[in-house]
Chains A and B, each alone.
Chain A
């Protein structure tokens, strides 16, 4: 068989990217899947095939249940709220207001900051008694709340940080999409008698749908991926009230060194994300008008 010159060159050009992808994405994925069916190797005892043992253990693990449930709440609140805020902010800074450039920058600032820095800023906000929030509430005699230290408020405190951080990031996408809508479309809608809300619902939102899908996928990934602030602020506590899936995986793998169980947890997380992505593309994509 004669191999063409083009084929050799194309293989050669694909090689560096392929090596990186295989070494750091595909191989670890497959290895994780395989590891999840084995026990964790210890000292003199090598890994043994345990079948679905790790998954059975997971089904009975109360911390996993807690992390899973927390993550659902975390995703169910941060995704819609941050996207809704992002759209509202984008509509605001896309209109003719004074100091538009300053407001845009202000909204985008949280995105530029590293999550660890953000977490440290918010730690001062949330600190009991002398923190910003408690000092403000103290004016009304409501101080003395340890926002991050009690199970009732800790998860919500983290949710607030995530929304604050993500909304500005998503706003940029909405803003870019809004500026792609030809003004004449909105003028035509106005002339036809559509008020602001009708223009928003019937013209702007449908035209933003491709962007919304893109942001939604990103938001879902972020909801399961972003745990920097958990590590910096609560480490999953108190009493696992801020335990999220990825943080639990991190703890199991690197604090408890139970790598096989961590692999099984990773497989579950991956499956959840894959399922959500499939649903999003399968259902929403058909309903979206792409220009």
Chain B
């Protein structure tokens, strides 16, 4: 059963159309990532759901009731801000129970709920400290605690990990994910980091210029990108998007109205395949990224370890049939037509 449904959501800033006809549906207990480059409207979308901005048009249904016109406090939504937005003059405990306190809950109830939430986040020993005496990770936990104590059905997180250093980020990634699973709350989080989105989310909504480009599981986003934009956004390095004419060189007849998508990790050297000249090799230890010049364009190839190939040599590239993606050259949308693939196995040395 969907817990949050967004229909036809639009937001204008003066004349700028920042959220365009957004449609989104999340099930209970799902972990959703809003992913996209900066300026794609993902943070605005989150603020529209929270009620911190007013939608220009559209419906936001939470558990079946339309909350789009309600003030943010009445929506039953909690939020973790990018800067954590902790009250500097209050202790950790007071910060977490702030919402309960302004809503007039008794001190007894506040203390009980605090005693339940604090251990979840390992904050028991820090309750009397002030935010300025905490590390970034601890502040993050306090912000989470304040969001969780209200027991709202949905928790929004705005770039929750962007203020942490790399090692802490990995730790908090796991922690937030396991907390979400354990408590079974629905979480929607905004990020511009595809690794965060891919590794944490059940489903990822990839936004571009205020529209959802694709809303799917990380696996589908990776293996069946809906457009060249998705193909280029997911994966590091990004999927190679190559003109059809290039494939004449290996005897393939690709329709000229199409673009071909091939992931760097799906390409491997064969004896006779798509020829190209190696122009650069970047060695990363476990793998290397080769830049191969295909004539009109370059493509990236990921190979295990350090390849024996040297710069300037010609490399023949092959791929498996299911690694071959086709997109419309005009619209950039995925095409589900099959093109007969060469048989690399016959060409490979015995």
**A-to-B contact residues, CB < 8 Å:** 182, 184-185, 187-195, 198, 202-203, 206-207, 209, 289, 291
Contact = CB atoms under 8 A, between A and B. Distances in A.
Interface in B164-190: none
A191 B103 contact: no
A192 B99 contact: yes
Contacts of A190: 52, 71-73
Interface string B77-105: 11101110101110000000011001100
A182 B150 CA distance: 23
Nearest to B150: A192
Interface in B142-160: 146, 150
Contacts of B50: 191
Given A184-B83, A185-B85, 6 more contacts: A182-B85, A184-B85, A191-B73, A198-B102, A202-B98, A206-B89
Interface in B114-165: 130, 132, 146, 150
B99 A203 contact: no
Contacts of B87: 185, 188-189, 202-203
B83 A182 contact: yes
Nearest to A186: B85
27 contacts: A182-B85, A184-B81, A184-B82, A184-B85, A185-B85, A187-B52, A187-B81, A187-B85, A189-B98, A191-B52, A191-B78, A191-B79, A192-B99, A192-B102, A192-B103, A192-B146, A193-B102, A194-B98, A194-B102, A195-B102, A202-B87, A202-B102, A206-B89, A207-B89, A289-B88, A289-B89, A291-B88
Q: Which of A185, A188, A206, A289 has the most CB of B within 10 A?
A: A188
Nearest to B82: A184
A114 to B, nearest CB: 39
Nearest to A209: B89
A190 B50 CA distance: 10
Nearest to B78: A191
A267 B137 CA distance: 55
A193 B89 contact: no
Interface in B243-280: none
Contacts of B72: 187, 190-191
A143 B71 CA distance: 51
Contacts of A189: 87, 98, 102
A171 to B, nearest CB: 22
A193 B99 contact: yes
A227 B130 CA distance: 44
Given A207-B89, A289-B88, A192 B83 contact: no
Q: Which of A192, A193, A202, A209 has the most CB of B within 10 A?
A: A192
B88 to A, nearest CB: 6
Closest 9 pairs (CB-CB, A-B): A192-B99, A289-B89, A188-B85, A184-B85, A193-B73, A194-B102, A206-B89, A193-B103, A184-B81
A192 B146 CA distance: 9
Contacts of B130: 289
Nearest to A203: B87
Nearest to A206: B89
A195 B79 CA distance: 17
B77 A191 contact: yes
A237 to B, nearest CB: 48
Contacts of B82: 184
B155 to A, nearest CB: 11
A187 B50 CA distance: 10
B94 to A, nearest CB: 9
A62 to B, nearest CB: 48
A17 B92 CA distance: 46
Q: Which of A190, A193, A195, A289 has the most CB of B within 10 A?
A: A193
A82 B135 CA distance: 40
A274 B52 CA distance: 48
Nearest to B101: A202
Interface in B15-67: 50-52
Contacts of A291: 88, 132
Nearest to A202: B102
Nearest to B47: A187
A200 to B, nearest CB: 12
B81 A192 contact: no
Contacts of B71: 190
